[in-house]
Structure 1
Amino acid sequence: MSDSNRKTAGKLLRSLLMEWEKAIIGKPDTLRLVMISLLCRGHLLLEDLPGLGKTTLAKALAKSLDLTFKRIQCTPDLLPADITGITIFDQKAQGFRFLPGPVFTNILLTDEINRTSPRTQSALLEAMAERTVTVDRKTRKLPATFMVIATQNPIEFSGTFPLPEAQLDRFFMRVSLGYPKLQDETRIMQMNRGEDPLDRIEAKIDDETLQKLQHAVTKVQIDQKIVDYIAALIHATRTHKKIRLGVSPRGSISLMKAAQASALLNDESFVTPLRVQELVAPVLAHRMLLRSNNDNDRDLLQEIIDATPVPAMPESKSDNHTTETVLELAE
């Protein structure tokens, strides 16, 4: 990718982050992780306590991109049809027609996903994995831009259905907003004294431009040494004595793509070991199954990072061979 196109992409992405920060105060690192997931067309698992801004974040994302947004409150009696939609008989037309469910949207917030039954979770899994839904033996495509932001309470397990490993692996990242700092909480209260903070958010780019930015991520250079480094990190999760189930190849691909997106977001022409290391925990932690509940997944991943040799910094390569795929993004 040429320097000018990379700078244009970076400028657009930073303008998006600034819009999100109008509604989400004091969480720049988490917002960058959300941005990386979006750029990689990944789904997001938000593990947080109630009232920390998860719904606000999802709405801010949709509004800044001029995308459609829908929300599902997951409950034990929620049915697959409540998500995917149903076919009904139309008396006037004397025929059957399909009523699409909330899954037919760009940004889908599924609140407390672990409170719904495994049967309903599986319907959502098809949408996340295949970006299609099947109703009455007919498969329907979802929008090209489709992102699930699922939430769950990390400390409340009564009456819940824990997500199976297959579904956890479909989430690109697991992140947390967490409690705000003291000074940030003051700003949050002041910000909510008048108009809704979401009313301040403006659409900065459209769906077409977003898809171009997502394509630009695949053009960020990544040296073979970095690919080998990622593979070594992944392999270490499979041989670690405290990890029962290591990371799958889907996890290694996700970490590679996330590192490319991070490089683009930081206006860098190639992926460095640092970009990989800072994304190991959010991309990989939820994909592992530990042998003991006394261990912490992020601590074990840090052990693996510390024990894995870091490759030398790759040299920046010429962008001339990518001129045929240069983005034409409006300033």
Structure 2
Amino acid sequence: MDYLGADGSTPGEVNHPAAINAPIGCASCHTSAAHALDSVPFPSGVVVDGLSASATCSVCHQGRQSGDNVTSATEGMGEDTVSSDLAFLNVHYGVAAAVMHGSEVRGGFQYPGKTYAGRFAHVPSANTCVACHDAHSTEVETDGCVACHRGVEDIRDIRTRHLDFDGDGQISGGIHTEIVGLQEQLYAALQTYAAEVADAPIGYATGTFPYFFNDTNADGQISPDEAAFPNRYQNWTPRLLKAAYNYQVSKKDAGAYVHNPAYMLQLLYDSLESLSEQVDLGMSDLRRP
């Protein structure tokens, strides 16, 4: 309400503390200020216009970092030099809007010299948030999906691109499986690079901030005891941070296979390609969209 200016404050900023865990309620969307909202600034500073009913969704589901923040944090540093000035930059969670708009808002870290997919323009009947999600429960309504994508029982089985992006020799599954395949390879690559180049094994804990921790026993897993803030990973190099940031972007939009599969595949592939400059990853079977 404060951000929208619905409480009489200046719109577009939060200028007083809010209660912790204050829920999103009816008034968050059903106010004249929310109905009038059509443009939303993203963490990169890019303002997206013409969002209509998707504007209120995009205010929250855009993350709190962008690839620009990663660029600024690592500027002027040696790519493979551990720096105590670096810490993990967390994109936050529920970043569907940032992923959907792709390169236009630079939600992921976009490697220099690469081109990236922009906003994923679905068919007109499925081109807004509430065209697919129930506005109150956010549950996905799949009837519209299977009306066009016939013959699938699970929307994760849908694919319109038939290249083998993750190099496993299979193209029978949905594009979701290709994203998961590259995601798994990127996590393994992060672990290899951290151990061999940054000289400190790394692991990831899905639900515990700041997500990346020292794998103290080098078993490839992060135990509850290891997933503690004092044990947060601190041996960051710019190359490792960039790839880890993109890994987190992929983890924090479970619907990327619908929101913008090409953009997500590009981020994952390019992160792997960067790490492969220092560790042997075997990129020859992978494909970039």
Is the radius of gyration larger for structure 1 or structure 2? 1
The structure that is strand-richer by fraction is: 1
Higher relative contact order, chain-length normalized (CA < 8 Å, sep 6+):
1
The structure that is helix-richer by fraction is: 1
